């Protein structure tokens, strides 16, 4: 039986919307019951009856509106709150002044809290604060004087709605975090599966083409070299460490949905960047890159300068050690600094050759490598033994000198 794809939906909001729908129906019945028990005390009972007819029709007709966040629009929230506030303002017309002064309930009674809670679930604590403040003001105007029970009820609704709105915002953030973790786990498993398949097929074919091309020679050797470069690039791609992590979007109608989307390049110019991403393009058939399994973050300017210094070192390898020389890049993430070592198997640099080149005005090592590192507060050490290759060790502190002085 073929597998069917499912979109995994997670939402703590759906139970809240269902609870709100039930709350609105129950409080509507409660308000009608209060009116029925005190019907004889109303000065204008027809006002109350007319209002409750509107309240019943509105509550039942708008139950689908409080089913989820998408249906609960701003226009609906405004209309719902208007009906609640209108009921409070109509209370002095329907009920006697004595009952109102004695702490009698308003026409909508606690149904009003449902409107405020809808604001809290939809927009968080800020929306809840606006709605509850409007209810508080209208309640105080309806009473005429700020009686203690009125102030008590107003503060209770205000604090409760804001607290619920804040909890909803925290729950949404937790949902997004969990959805992101699940999406990353699923992407990692898929990448591992693809890596196994590619290793068993494509990579082996490319390696064979590289070996056979080197044996045959001629144009086949060039083809083999290109196959070797593609093999290294493909290995780097499927290794998983250098792929950008997609973010998770949120479906406002059905909760958080695990969905892979393209991550925009909106990082600030001086924000941290993974050094491995900048060094990955240097890997090839004759350049091996060894890096930690975790990101190596550096401020963007420092990372770019360090990557440029590595590129300059590799240019020197190709220029002076020959096209057949191999090179290795090793990235080490130390507690306070980043160390990148570039080593080759070339003939090495004769003693005094660097000083002679600098005197002749060729400043490749002096400026392209040591100068870049010096500007970053780091260092570049070059060790070369004739006949045993050359090793360049580049060290960059994780905190720049300016930031270190500020601390």
pLDDT score recorded for residue 59: 93
Q: Is the dihedral of CA 305, 373, 344, 334 positive or negative?
A: negative
Exposure letters 210-232 (e unless 16+ CB within 10 A, then b): beebeeeeeeeeeebbebbbbbb
Strand order in the sheet with 327-333: 287-290, 327-333, 337-344, 390-397, 379-384
pLDDT above 50: residue 265: no
pLDDT score recorded for residue 7: 42
pLDDT-derived band at 81 (thresholds 50, 70, 90) equals very high
> Which residues lie closer than 8 Å to 399 by C-beta, 6 or more apart?
336, 407
pLDDT score recorded for residue 50: 93
Query: What is the C-alpha separation between 401 and 244, in angstroms, rounded?
Result: 30
Tell which wins on pLDDT, 5 or 333. Answer: 333
pLDDT above 70: residue 328: yes
pLDDT score recorded for residue 247: 37
Phi-psi label, residue 109: left if phi above 0, alpha if psi -120 to 50, beta otherwise: left
Q: Which of these ranges, 26-30, 99-103, 228-232, has the smallest mean pLDDT?
A: 228-232
Quote the tokens at residue 352: 């005094």
- Contact criterion met (CB below 8 Å) for 232 and 285: yes
Whole-number percent of the chain with pLDDT over 70 = 76
pLDDT above 70: residue 149: no
> What's the mean pLDDT in 298-323?
85
> What's the mean pLDDT in 273-277?
88
Q: pLDDT tens digit string along 82-134? A: 999 999 899 888 887 778 777 778 889 889 888 899 999 988 889 988 998 89
pLDDT above 80: residue 177: yes
pLDDT-derived band at 259 (thresholds 50, 70, 90) equals very low
- Contact criterion met (CB below 8 Å) for 211 and 228: no
pLDDT above 90: residue 189: no
pLDDT-derived band at 266 (thresholds 50, 70, 90) equals very low
Tell me the pTM.
Answer: 0.49
Query: What is the C-alpha separation between 321 and 342, in angstroms, rounded?
Result: 13
Q: What are phi and psi of 218, to 5 degrees?
A: 70, -140
Query: What is the C-alpha separation between 327 and 179, in angstroms, rounded?
Result: 41
pLDDT above 70: residue 26: yes
Q: pLDDT tens digit string along 391-402? A: 889 999 987 655
pLDDT above 70: residue 3: no
pLDDT above 80: residue 407: no
Report the mean per-residue pLDDT for the chain: 77
pLDDT score recorded for residue 195: 66
pLDDT above 90: residue 80: yes
> What's the mean pLDDT in 326-355?
82
Query: What is the C-alpha separation between 132 and 134, in angstroms, rounded?
Result: 5
pLDDT above 90: residue 264: no
3-state secondary structure the chain: CCCCCCCCEECCHHHHHHHHHHHHHHHHHHHHHHHHHCHHHCCCHHHHHHHHHHHHHHHHHCHHHHCCCCCCCHHHHHHHHHHHHHHHHHHHHHCCHHHHHCCCCCCCCCHHHHHHHHHHHHHCHHHHHHHHHHHHHHHHHHHCCCCHHHHHHHHHHHHHHHHHHHHHHHHHHHHHHHHHHHHHHHHHHHHHHHHHHHHHCHHHHHHHHHHHHHHHCCHHHHHHHHHHHHHHHHHHHHHCCCCCCCEEEEECCCEEEEEEECCCCCCCCCCEEEHHHHHHHHCCCCEEEECCCCCCEEEHHHHHHHHHHHHHHHHHHHHHHCCCCCEEEEEEECCCEEEEEEEECCCCCCCCHHHHHHHCCCCHHHHHHHHHHHHCCCEEEEEECCCCCEEEEEEEECCCHHHHHHC
- Contact criterion met (CB below 8 Å) for 150 and 140: yes
- Contact criterion met (CB below 8 Å) for 325 and 345: yes
Q: Which of these ranges, 118-132, 192-206, 247-261, 292-306, has the smallest mean pLDDT?
A: 247-261
* Residue 167 neighbours by CB distance under 10 Å: 16
pLDDT score recorded for residue 169: 86
Query: What is the C-alpha separation between 400 and 385, in angstroms, rounded?
Result: 33
Query: What is the C-alpha separation between 109 and 100, in angstroms, rounded?
Result: 12
């Amino acid at each position: 039986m073929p597998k069917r794809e499912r979109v995994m939906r997670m939402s703590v909001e759906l139970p809240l919307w269902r609870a709100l729908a039930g709350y609105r129906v129950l409080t509507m019945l409660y308000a009608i019951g209060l009116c029925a028990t005190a019907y004889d005390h109303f000065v204008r009972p027809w006002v109350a009856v007319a209002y409750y007819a509107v309240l019943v029709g509105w509550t039942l007709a708008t139950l689908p509106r409080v089913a989820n966040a998408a249906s609960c629009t701003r226009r609906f929230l405004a209309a719902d709150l208007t009906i609640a506030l209108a009921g409070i303002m109509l209370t002095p017309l329907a009920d006697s002044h004595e009952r109102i002064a004695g702490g009698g309930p308003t026409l909508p009674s606690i149904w009003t809290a449902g409107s405020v809670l809808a604001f809290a679930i939809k927009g968080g604590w800020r929306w809840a604060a606006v709605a509850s403040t409007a209810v508080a003001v209208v309640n105080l105007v309806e009473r005429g004087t700020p009686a203690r029970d009125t102030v008590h009820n107003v503060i209770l609704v205000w604090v409760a709605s804001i607290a619920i709105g804040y909890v909803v915002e925290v729950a949404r953030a937790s949902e997004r975090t969990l959805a992101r973790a699940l999406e990353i786990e699923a992407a990692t498993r898929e990448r591992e599966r693809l890596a196994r398949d590619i290793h068993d097929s494509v990579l082996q074919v490319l390696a064979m083409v590289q070996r056979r091309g080197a044996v045959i020679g001629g144009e086949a050797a060039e083809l083999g070299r290109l196959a070797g470069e593609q093999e290294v690039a493909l290995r780097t791609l499927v290794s998983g460490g250098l792929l950008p992590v997609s973010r998770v979007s949120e479906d406002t109608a059905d909760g958080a949905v695990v969905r892979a989307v393209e991550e925009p390049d909106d990082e600030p110019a001086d924000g941290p960047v993974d050094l491995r991403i900048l060094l990955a393009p240097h890997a090839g058939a004759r350049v091996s890159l060894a890096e930690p399994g975790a990101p190596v973050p550096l401020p963007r300017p420092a990372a770019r300068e360090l990557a440029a210094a590595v590129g300059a070192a590799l240019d020197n390898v190709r220029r002076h050690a020959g096209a057949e020389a191999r090179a290795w890049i090793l990235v080490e993430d130390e507690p306070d600094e980043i160390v990148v070592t570039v080593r080759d198997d070339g003939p090495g640099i004769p003693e005094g050759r660097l000083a002679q080149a600098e005197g002749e005005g060729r400043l490749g090592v002096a400026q392209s490598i040591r100068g870049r590192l010096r500007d970053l507060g780091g260092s570049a050490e070059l060790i070369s033994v004739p006949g045993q290759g050359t090793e360049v060790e580049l060290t960059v502190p994780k905190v720049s000198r300016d930031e270190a002085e500020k601390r």
